[in-house]
Chain A
Amino acid sequence: MLEHVELFFKSIFVDNMVFAYFLGMCSYLAVSKKVSTAVGLGAAVIFVLTVTVPLNWFLDQYILQPGALAWLDGNRATPELSAYADYDLSFLSFILFIATIATMVQLVEIIVEKFSPSLYNSLGIFLPLIAVNCAILGGSLFMQSREIETAGLALNYGFSSGIGWFLAIVAIAAIREKIRYSNVPAPLRGLGITFIITGLMAIGFMSFGGMLTGGDDAAPSLEGQPEKVGLQLEESIETETAQAAVISE
């Protein structure tokens, strides 16, 4: 339970898709002129992430990982006994993940067009373009590289990353509505000022950087002990050479 709560807050605030990784920028910048449209796109992203990350988790677990195909001859629990133990299909990750995502985006498009034609029109090309939104593919790839353990956690991760992205786009849309009548210098009008706002917002979001991750490694220390670090390095090199010697023998 605790790990669910931790993952939830971590993916919304600490590892925010926009402010920590700057993913999904194109639709974030283009569809953030009005709050109502931003809410629509944000909700679509939440939906797509929530569905695709767990789906891709299953793909990863049962097809892509090294040894994941072991279930084919009934050796899921003991993959090293399986005839498929050496199969590593992870080079197919991108294609399979994108296929899932594109399917889901098609689904969302059909649903939105059916139920809210006005939102469908205002989102325009950016709705189908969610398929190539880096935040969505990023969600699946982070899920893979961080080795999220259960399908439940993967579902949680997709949903909360989506919420993080949703918050980001709604906040910037509100700010852009507020500064619509500001006397921004001409060269910066439009995208320029939006980039600057995004950077400043990321400063605000840095309040969560290091939270929950412990932060012990992040804290800058004035009194390092260089002589000890050197010793440790030597030790580790020595042990490594010793191990190498053992292996070569």
Chain B
Amino acid sequence: MGLKQSLHKMKMKYEGTKMAPAFNAIHTFLYLPNETTHNGTHVKVADDLKRTMNMVIMALVPCLLFGIFNAGYQYNLQTGEVTKALSFFSTEFWNFSNFSIGAWKVLPLVIVSYGVGLLVEFIFAVIKGHEVEEGYLVTGMLVPLIVPVDIPLWMLSVAVVFGVVIGKEVFGGTGMNILNPALTIRAFLFFAYPTWMSGDKVWVTGAVDTVGQPDAISGETILGSLAQNKGFADWSMMDQFLGFIPGSVGETSKLLIIVGALILILSKIGSWRIILSTLVGALSMGLIFNGVVEMGWIDESSKFFGLMNVVFWQHLFIGSILFGAVYMATDPVTASQTNKGKWIYGFLIGFISIMIRVFNPAYPEGVFLAILLMNVFAPTIDHYVVEGNIKKRAKRLKVKTA
């Protein structure tokens, strides 16, 4: 009880001063506040904003741990330290050497993302004199998972400041933003520093430093090699499903993303409608492209052939479509709010993601842009769904009264 008491004392001491929200936030983040109501009945729910956020973070932790090991594994695999991991519990993957290399790369990303983001949040809370909001807890965890391992830390902090201030705080803070802040941060990085965010040099740690050397490390992702009509390189289906492939830190393991999805769905935090419809959208776009190849409209001379020829369900195992569908598209603030709207919103995300992936040579992966685009249109979809409902009910009312 010592820490709680001293936190409470500190809070009392600073009460009414400018810094009060900061101390208050630390206190309530760790413990139940000291002052609770004792009489009268109130609505009791366990899932306040802080618990909701913590739930999402828990769903993300497996991906983060896997990402740490994977960052080291990809490096060691190329330098010949370890051989290919064949099963999920292989010791070639879960060993200390992989962990130490990965942790040295990934943990700074996490620390910088949280440190810079929460600092901005605290500053805004102190200036505006309101409580520190919880919104950044999840964003701060998502950001390190969606960037390449080798991203320089100063770029990350610039992007985090942009994402938190322009993406969220100017709209009035958590719950008011129109674009997903984590994706705003990624989009900022992508357009401001394209050479650090795409290409075949950034996805495995150390690849940038060894360019041109005889033992150069290749940092190519599967999507990259597919876009150049080079096929799946030597990554098997199982590698892709378990996640032993190069890519952004957290996006690779489809198995653990599915585990995270189950946590989110069972705790009713993520909307299963959005996840399901996103996958349906992606599959149907994949089917269309397969149909185009089958009809013979496009042959191997076309630069789109490699990606169009991917069997439609394999699109789910490469790139970040699954990660985007589970953790990004389901963001309750920026997604559609109505149930019918969620179906439309999710479907279009999947549809456009695969379209960008195949058709847009400028961007190897389009999931984050597709989600941002649909964030823009989510209020429009909601508006028309609501209007449609109003019209339907008005008609029903007329029939009844007539």
A residues with a Cβ closer than 8 A to B are: 35, 170-171, 174-175, 177-179, 182-185, 188, 193, 196-197, 199-201, 203-212, 214-216, 218-220, 222
Contacts and interface: CB of A to CB of B under 8 A. Distances in A.
Contact of B184 (A203, A211, A222): A203
A185 B170 contact: yes
A215 B361 contact: yes
A170 to B, nearest CB: 6
Nearest to B172: A183
A184 B171 contact: yes
Nearest to B366: A207
Interface string B363-389: 100100110111111011011000000
Interface of B: 128, 166-167, 169-173, 176, 178-179, 184, 187, 191, 194-195, 199, 201, 211, 352, 356, 359-363, 366, 369-370, 372-377, 379-380, 382-383
Contacts of B360: 207-208, 210-211, 215
Given A204-B369, A220-B194, A220-B195, A171 B377 contact: yes
Contacts of A171: 376-377, 379-380
B179 A203 contact: yes
A197 B178 CA distance: 8
A217 to B, nearest CB: 10
B380 A204 contact: no
A207 B167 contact: no
Contacts of B170: 184-185, 188, 193, 196
A212 B359 contact: yes
A196 B171 CA distance: 9
A206 B370 CA distance: 10
A211 to B, nearest CB: 4
Contacts of B176: 179, 182-184
Contacts of B376: 171, 175, 200-201, 204-205
A65 B195 CA distance: 43
Nearest to A201: B376
A33 B253 CA distance: 44
A171 to B, nearest CB: 5
Contact of B370 (A188, A207, A218): A207
Nearest to B353: A207
A20 to B, nearest CB: 14
Contacts of B366: 207
Contact of A219 (B173, B178, B361, B373): B361
Given A35-B383, A174-B380, A196-B170, A207 B369 contact: yes
A203 B186 CA distance: 11
Contacts of A206: 187, 191, 369
A213 B375 CA distance: 25
Nearest to B374: A204
Contacts of A222: 195, 199, 201, 211
B361 A178 contact: no
Contacts of B374: 204
Nearest to B380: A174
